[in-house]
Structure 1
Amino acid sequence: MATVPLLWAPRGKATDCHFIEAPVERAAPPRCASCIDLNSPPTTPTSSSPSLPTTAHSIYSDTQTMVHARSVLQNVCSALLLLAVGTEALKFDIQAGSGHDSLSRRCIRNFVAKDMLVVVTAIVDGYKGDGMQLNMHIMDAAGNEYGKPKDIAGEQRTVFTSHADAAFDVCFENILTGNKYVQNPNRHVELDIDIGADAKDWAAVQASEKLKPVETELRRIEEMVGEIVSEMDYLRHREQKLRDTNESTNNRVKWFGFLTTFLLVGLWAWQIMYLRAYFRSKHLI
């Protein structure tokens, strides 16, 4: 509603003029169905019209919630993908030697907990009788031997269960055999070590238990998480043992320091008494 000034004058009196404000109706601007007027008060939606956000604050809050939920979902998916991705095999070459020298021997060390399933797969190029003999030896730091195959070529698979919480070594030794000349005395080895959940045949588990692929993958991830928890518990126990050893060593060093100080004070007192008696016997004091 707006007002427009109008000129009004009585008949016969042209000089006596008055302005009268007459109301004029203006057409309302077209309303956008998808727009929200921030200056207008919130309206209550009726049953016939669909409910729309009433204020910009509610829209901002909903947007922030959706962004946060999407970020959390992306982080969870990234973690699952990192757990699901397998590691590539270790590839290296071993030069053949005439004896037990350092160039013809290569060892790979890994740590394993007790009663863990371990699968060692080695793929070696060449063939038997080519003038080189590649031997493999698997043993842990406690002295337990898990396999000692000789003259391997192609794929060699060794499966064992660890007997102790210790590091185990997978050693390869390439030795020249016979008088045959070898042009390139090297063997290429691809080594893959699977421990725990990675060592299981999940295809067989899926077939035997009739699981879906997603369920099988979740089972594998669950076992991997359980292994991580067990490893963290082992590290915690190791930390406790090292802390106890530290405290015991500190206590022993403290008492050793007290004993050394007492002995030094006693030796100093004995020397003073001895020198005083000696000087008195010589009538020097």
Structure 2
Amino acid sequence: MSTRYTRTVLLLCLSLLVVVSPLVTAHMIEVPAGKKECFFEDLHVNDKMTVTYQVGGGGHLDIDFWLQDPDHNALANHERHSTGTISITARKDGRYQYCFSNLMSTVVDKLVSFNVHGVIYVDDDDTVAPIEREIRQLANGLTAVKDEQEYIVIRERRHRNTAESTNSRVKWWSIFQAFVLFSVVAWQVYYLKSFFEVKRAF
């Protein structure tokens, strides 16, 4: 492999990282009860954006989610979902808005983990090198793997919290049963003792 070819590959990799990196972000937010949290992404025509989210804590582990284009037209609307994935291709230039809403709850805050990633559109004509196409596909695959890993982490946290809650309930139920058992035994001893006592006549 020539030195010139190696430099070309390295330059393509660095260029791809510079282009793709601004569109890959991961966040963990807490949405207070009765509130909503909104975010914005500036896209151009044919840019692609994917939003994946997972509710990791709070209430019934559900959240409202919607995505709007620059003209405030709804592109997606989820109600009371615990997880979801939305992928869009921009049809016009402008600022796209997506929100997580906890307006349905007046008491419980919600913990939400979400990822935003996308691909900046580049005209894929014959002048694009095959190695660049492969690098783009590799970047998309790595992003998908990263999203899956974060989803697994959130699910593991939810299952661990459920298991700890179950263990706590079993512990307190066992303590309550033991208390009831000793109370019944003490009452029976007292009752039998008083039953066999001889009352003295004065």
> TM-score normalised by the shorter chain: which range applies?
0.3 to 0.5
* TM-score (normalizing by structure 1): 0.36
* Structure number, greater radius of gyration: 1
Higher RCO structure, 1 or 2 (CA under 8 Å, sep 6+):
2
* TM-score, L = length of structure 2: 0.48
- Richer in helix (by share): 2
